[in-house]
């Protein structure tokens, strides 16, 4: 694998691997560290002249193993058999999650803030309106705008697109 191919795979896999690790370790900083360490280790392996036949599978397995190692350090007596396998379903889910978060990041700032307060933080429209000094109608309009833009961004021309957290 050339440096250019590695860079391309990094760009494709970084965020989905991060979402996969986050679901396992439930800590964004740890998940990011794990993904970075996994890419560094993969590069070191490739520099030795070794080949990695299925790079995507290799990276998911590497991230999973590092997540399990971290969890074992944090909770030595925990049963980690339930940690999801690094299979196609896990990869597809992490890619979907990455697409969702990229779409959320592209929302206008106020719209994104209101959407996250509602969906991530579980706040009601009234609570959001009070917190931000807005009318409830403005909050509702911003939520409608956010949902519409997310559905459009995530549908990829296919209707309808299911947003799992809505």
pLDDT tens, N- to C-terminus, the chain (166 residues): 788 988 999 988 888 888 888 888 888 889 999 999 999 999 999 989 888 888 988 999 899 889 988 888 887 666 665 565 666 666 676 777 777 778 888 888 888 888 888 887 888 899 999 988 989 999 999 888 888 888 877 776 544 444 444 4
Q: What Å distances lie between residue 139 and 144, 145, 151, CA to CA?
A: 9, 10, 18
Asked if CATH classification 1.10.260.40 holds for the domain at 106-157, the reply, yes or no, is: no
For the chain, give every domain's residue range. Answer: 1-105, 106-157
Residue 154 makes CB contacts below 8 A (sequence gap 6+) with 99, 100, 103, 161, 163
């Amino acid at each position: 694998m050339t440096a250019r191919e590695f860079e391309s795979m990094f760009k494709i896999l970084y965020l989905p691997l991060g979402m996969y690790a986050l679901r396992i370790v439930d800590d964004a900083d740890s998940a990011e560290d794990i993904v970075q360490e996994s890419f560094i280790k993969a590069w070191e392996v490739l520099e030795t002249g070794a080949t990695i036949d299925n790079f995507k599978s290799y990276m998911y397995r590497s991230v999973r193993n590092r997540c399990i190692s971290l969890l074992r350090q944090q909770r030595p007596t925990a049963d980690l058999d339930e940690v999801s396998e690094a299979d196609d379903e896990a990869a597809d889910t992490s890619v979907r999650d990455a697409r969702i978060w990229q779409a959320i990041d592209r929302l206008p700032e106020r719209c994104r803030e209101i959407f996250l307060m509602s969906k991530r933080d579980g706040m009601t429209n009234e609570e959001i309106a009070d917190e931000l000094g807005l009318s409830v109608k403005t909050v509702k309009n911003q939520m409608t705008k956010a949902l519409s833009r997310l559905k459009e961004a995530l549908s990829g021309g296919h209707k309808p697109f299911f947003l799992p957290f809505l």
